Amino acid sequence: MEIRMARCLQKGYRAPAYQMTLPYPPLRSSVEATQWLIEKRGHFDELVASVEHYAIFTMSLDGTILDWNLGALRLKGYTADEIVGKNFSLFYSAEDLERNLPGFELQTAFHTGKFADEGWRYRKDGSRFWAAVTVSSIRASNGEIAGFLKITRDLTERKQAEESLRGTEERLRLMIECVQDYAIFSLDPEGHVTSWNSGARRIKQYEDDEIMGLHFSVFYPPEALAIDTPSKLLNQALKSGSAKDEGWRVRKDGTCFWANVAITALFNQKKELKGFVKITRDLTGQRQMELLRESGRRKDTFFATLAHELRNPLAPILTAVEMIQRSLENPARMAQLAEVLKTQVGQMAHLIDDLLDMARITTGKVNLQKSDVLLSEVLETARQAVLPALLERNHEFICEIPPQPLFIEGDFYRLNQILTNLLSNAVKYTPREGKIHLTANLGGDGHLEIRVKDNGIGIPEVVHSSIFELFDQGASGSSEGLGIGLTLAKTLAELHGGTISVSSDGDGCGSEFTLRLPVSSPYSDSSGSNEIRVTPAPQGSARILVADDNKNAADILGMFLRMEGYEVAVAYDGKEAVEIAAEFSPHFAFLDLGMPRLDGLEAARIIRKRFPNIILTALSGWGTNDDRGRTAEAGFDQHLVKPAKPDDIRQALELLQRFTPENSSGSRTDAITVAKTV
């Protein structure tokens, strides 16, 4: 190498074709600087001449190459004779020369002592390679810079791998961006959105500039935020690498969709968390199909259970009827059988009432008859309703309510229905000799909290949200009841401006239902609240017409009315009712609506036309406002819903309480008129 450098000195510098701009003062004598470099090389040749993987050479201040090692020959393709004495700008593209990159490298090394860069460089055959370049300044003994040492490494393979990876990443980015059926986006370690694809824009409705930087919790409904679902999912992904979930999510416009979610944590090589990738699918359609299938399954179970529940009372009823026919001379046994019939019919009536209530609720035809209802009276009525079941199962029942009278603005019958259903539910799902605890407390927000707690079978958390749905019987799959009691209770509570919620620690841990209702006046005067209306016995034999195409129903009602002291005529269709009325001249009539030959509505119009002051009471299996409106239009004074209880019949007959035998002839019409206006 010293020989090559000496030759270079003897030949003198060749002027490079490319003139570099060097904004620094040259040494006093470039030849002296080069000679100094040669003298100071020492054993440099022995150290670098055989290095193959690095191109190592020295340059003068203007970039003229002074020596050349084996690695430079292999990397750049020039022999020492071909390249020594030429300018290193031969390795650069026209674009690099245009922007004076070679001069910039020397300038930087001159002023800072070193220049490092990566970029494309060119070989003798015109091919290019990706080079990692280092240019270091060399100082003479007097401290002035005498030249430069340049080391070049071929990183083409690495560059190609990076470009391949970059291309793959770009293709992946474009692919993700084009996905329409999945919302795919990334989050920073705290959960803020950092990327957003077209699927996310379609499903969640946010544009990029609207969502970037926001926390992904904006996609969750209030009930999920209340239990901190977003943080739980990130923590799970952080611990396990990924997390999956299904549930309701919220779009920008506030509508909800059923989402299947997968969150994956992203770590670098140092195991440091860099963020998360979240993939969301909209499964609303699939969820709706599942709900429809589940609803169908529940309905099938419901109808099977309904058939079972309706058949259950029929067996003892049929048996009791046959025994009555054979026990006419045994009053004690007749009374016992009558009690059996009363109990079984009561069960069927309760079942039918629940079904009718659900029909009214689903059609929005439930109307509350509100008044100030005393809490203690409602609770006592509900307790009496479940008392037989409590005694049969030997449950302990504890009731704790405030000492002061508390009034609820509501419908007494419906409030009783709510509490009876809650207590019945506790009785049903608590094993024998269990404990049921009812407490009522007045809250500071003007609401009354009634809690019904049991130590029964408990409710798994997975069904807490569905237990109030129609036909649901919880995880127990109980065959008792129709699975509509809690649905009724919840709906009726909401109609009163209240709520019902459930809590349970799971199987075997018991359950607690909390009913919240607004209180009308916490310390109202309760005087008169315990008034009980008693229907006086009839003082004369008023004439009553009964018409029903159900022969048994008509005969039974006729028998009951005769036992109450009335004179009764019975018809089995509408036309017969009109004909009998013409001869019987009734003061009062019970007319079924769905009779053959002439329905109850038309029969009522004809009878009313002949007897303007008669009291007409409709008997129907339907009791909506529309049904009552049709009967009123036909001339009915009252509307009773089947099955009418004896007390309902007696209450309807109160309109006859002023009728007396003395005015039964001649002045009967006036007496009836007075009765109707009481």
Instruction: State pLDDT tens for residues 471-491.
Output: 555 444 444 555 677 878 888
Q: What is the pLDDT of residue 605?
A: 94
Does residue 337 sit in the same domain as residue 264? no
- CATH number where 29 lies: 3.30.450.20
Does residue 25 sit in the same domain as residue 59? yes
Taken in order 60, 61, 62, 63, the sign of the CA dihedral is positive
Domain final residue pick, 264, 282, 300: 282
Q: What is the pLDDT of residue 205?
A: 85
- Cis peptide bond upstream of 536, omega within 30: no
Q: What is the pLDDT of residue 381?
A: 84
Domain final residue pick, 282, 306, 325: 282
Which of 150-164, 172-186, 241-255, 522-536 shows the lowest per-residue confidence on average (mean pLDDT)?
522-536
Does residue 480 sit in the same domain as residue 560? no
Which of 402-411, 441-450, 459-468, 595-604 shows the lowest per-residue confidence on average (mean pLDDT)?
459-468
Does residue 146 sit in the same domain as residue 244? no
Does residue 12 sit in the same domain as residue 136? yes
Q: Is residue 331 classed exposed, middle or buried when 0-12, 13-18 and 19+ CB atoms within 10 A define those classes? A: exposed
When pLDDT is averaged across residues 518-532 and rounded to a whole number, the result is: 46
pLDDT tens across 530-566, in order? 332 223 334 457 899 999 988 877 888 888 888 888 9
When pLDDT is averaged across residues 160-164 and rounded to a whole number, the result is: 78
Does residue 235 sit in the same domain as residue 350? no
The SS3 of residue 223 is helix
Query: By percentage, how much of the chain surpasses pLDDT 70?
Result: 76
The answer to whether 595 touches 664, Cβ cutoff 8 Å, is: no
* Residue 433, phi-psi category: left (phi > 0), alpha (psi -120 to 50), beta (remainder): left
Quick check: is 22 in a domain?
Answer: yes
d(CA 368, CA 551): 34
In this prediction, residue 677 has a pLDDT band, given cuts at 50, 70 and 90, of very low
> Which of 602, 584, 514, 483 is closest to 543 using CA atoms?
584
* Residue 315, phi-psi category: left (phi > 0), alpha (psi -120 to 50), beta (remainder): alpha
Quick check: is 140 in a domain?
Answer: yes
In this prediction, residue 176 has a pLDDT band, given cuts at 50, 70 and 90, of low
Taken in order 213, 219, 225, 229, the sign of the CA dihedral is negative
In this prediction, residue 409 has a pLDDT band, given cuts at 50, 70 and 90, of confident
Q: What is the pLDDT of residue 89?
A: 92
pLDDT tens across 322-345, in order? 778 777 778 887 887 787 777 777
Global pTM reads 0.39
Does residue 577 sit in the same domain as residue 646? yes
Quick check: is 37 in a domain?
Answer: yes
| 359 pLDDT more than 80 | no
pLDDT tens across 410-441, in order? 888 888 888 988 998 899 889 999 999 999 98
In this prediction, residue 350 has a pLDDT band, given cuts at 50, 70 and 90, of low
Does residue 31 sit in the same domain as residue 106? yes
- CATH number where 306 lies: 1.10.287
| 457 pLDDT more than 90 | no
Q: What is the pLDDT of residue 608?
A: 94
> Which of 178, 261, 181 is closest to 219 using CA atoms?
261
- 141 vs 154: which has the higher pLDDT: 154
Domain that holds residue 324: 291-355
Q: What is the pLDDT of residue 531?
A: 32
Quick check: is 585 in a domain?
Answer: yes
When pLDDT is averaged across residues 69-80 and rounded to a whole number, the result is: 92
The answer to whether 51 touches 45, Cβ cutoff 8 Å, is: no
Does residue 567 sit in the same domain as residue 586? yes
pLDDT tens across 580-626, in order? 999 999 999 999 998 888 999 999 999 999 999 999 999 987 777 78
- CATH number where 482 lies: 3.30.565.10
- 39 vs 153: which has the higher pLDDT: 153
| 3 pLDDT more than 80 | no
- 46 vs 646: which has the higher pLDDT: 646
Q: What is the pLDDT of residue 529?
A: 34
Q: What is the pLDDT of residue 325?
A: 77
Q: Round the average pLDDT of the chain to a whole number and report it.
A: 79
pLDDT tens across 308-323, in order? 566 666 766 777 777 7
In this prediction, residue 177 has a pLDDT band, given cuts at 50, 70 and 90, of low
In this prediction, residue 263 has a pLDDT band, given cuts at 50, 70 and 90, of very high
pLDDT tens across 201-213, in order? 888 889 988 989 9
Which of 38-52, 254-268, 356-370, 531-545 shows the lowest per-residue confidence on average (mean pLDDT)?
531-545
Q: What is the pLDDT of residue 475?
A: 42
Domain final residue pick, 491, 521, 551: 521
Phi and psi at residue 408, to the nearest 5° = -115, 135
Quick check: is 102 in a domain?
Answer: yes
In this prediction, residue 364 has a pLDDT band, given cuts at 50, 70 and 90, of low
When pLDDT is averaged across residues 178-198 and rounded to a whole number, the result is: 85
Quick check: is 161 in a domain?
Answer: no
Does residue 378 sit in the same domain as residue 515? yes
The answer to whether 546 touches 581, Cβ cutoff 8 Å, is: no
Quick check: is 164 in a domain?
Answer: no
- CATH number where 580 lies: 3.40.50.2300
Which of 182-186, 296-300, 454-458, 520-524 shows the lowest per-residue confidence on average (mean pLDDT)?
520-524
Going by their DSSP bridges, the two strands 371-374 and 447-454 should be labelled as unpaired
Does residue 509 sit in the same domain as residue 631? no
Residue type, 281: R
> Which of 423, 407, 577, 581 is closest to 489 using CA atoms?
423
> Which of 196, 194, 198 is closest to 178 using CA atoms?
198
The answer to whether 33 touches 140, Cβ cutoff 8 Å, is: yes
Q: What is the pLDDT of residue 175?
A: 64
- Domain count across the chain: 5
Does residue 309 sit in the same domain as residue 425? no
Q: What is the pLDDT of residue 183?
A: 85
Quick check: is 487 in a domain?
Answer: yes
Token pair 């009876």 is found at 420
